[in-house]
């Protein structure tokens, strides 16, 4: 059975997206191991490659399933719409990388798929319950992290107040 050229194009775009995602984010994974000199660059890359390969087998692919089916109705998306979503995410990732702007590849992909779904099939293509769940997580988790970091640091200052005053 031959694959259609449109499907092959989507597969190539997905591979390009993953390549660019790795180009943008892989340094963050190994930077601490290498800069702290805990591992040589070669060993750090080997550990990272093994962990990245084993991750989906050990911990599952829930995030991929959410992006693939919970946000948009995949049955309403054509290969052209998927291509448009991937191309927009790829372009966004390359532009933000080029200009040194911090950005999330996952957010770019979600935005690209939502935009393509809305354009190709209208509001019917969106799974509102899944979309609300994802959008809620995208906006609340950074706030939770901010406040958790603030209060943990305050607690550490409280625990170390005597230690710090001894050195003043």
| Closest to 86 measured CA to CA, from 26, 23, 21 | 21
How far is CA 159 from each of CA 59, 125, 163, rounded to the nearest angstrom?
Answer: 36, 52, 8
165 band by pLDDT with thresholds 50, 70 and 90: low
pLDDT level of residue 65 (50, 70, 90 thresholds): confident
Does 19 score more than 60 pLDDT?
yes
pLDDT at 9: 95
Which candidate, 82, 62, 84, 60, places its Cα nearest to that of 73?
82
What pTM was estimated for this model as a whole? 0.78
Give me the chain's average pLDDT, please. Answer: 89
- Helix, strand or coil for residue 134? helix
Tens digits of per-residue pLDDT, 85-121?
999 999 999 999 999 998 889 889 999 999 999 999 8
The DSSP code sequence of 79-128 is HHHHHHHHHHHHHHHHHHHHTT----HHHHHHHHHHHHHHHHHGGGGB-H
CA dist., res. 81 & res. 85, Å (int): 6
Per-residue model confidence (pLDDT) at position 3 = 79
**Where do the structural domains in the chain lie, given as residue ranges?**
5-126
pLDDT at 164 over 80: no
Classify the phi-psi angles of 157: left when phi > 0, otherwise alpha if psi is within -120 to 50, otherwise beta: alpha
Tokens of 111: 């935005």
pLDDT of residue 27: 80
Question: Higher confidence at residue 150 or residue 161?
Answer: 150
Cβ pair 77, 118 in contact under 8 A: no
């Amino acid at each position: 059975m031959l694959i259609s050229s449109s499907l092959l194009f989507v597969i190539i775009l997905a591979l390009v997206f993953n390549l660019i995602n790795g180009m943008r984010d892989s340094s963050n994974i190994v930077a601490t191991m290498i800069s702290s000199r805990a591992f040589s660059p070669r060993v750090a890359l080997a550990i990272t490659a093994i962990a990245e390969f084993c991750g989906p087998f050990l911990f599952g692919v829930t995030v991929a399933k959410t992006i693939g089916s919970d946000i948009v109705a995949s049955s309403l998306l054509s290969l052209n719409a998927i291509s448009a979503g991937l191309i927009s995410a790829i372009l966004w990732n390359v532009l933000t990388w080029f200009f040194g702007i911090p950005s999330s590849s996952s957010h770019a992909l979600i935005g690209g798929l939502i935009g393509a779904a809305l354009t190709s099939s209208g509001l019917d293509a969106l799974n509102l319950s899944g979309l609300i769940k994802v959008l809620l997580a995208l906006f609340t988790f950074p706030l939770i992290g901010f406040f958790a970091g603030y209060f943990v640091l305050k607690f550490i200052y409280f625990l170390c107040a005597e230690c710090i005053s001894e050195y003043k």
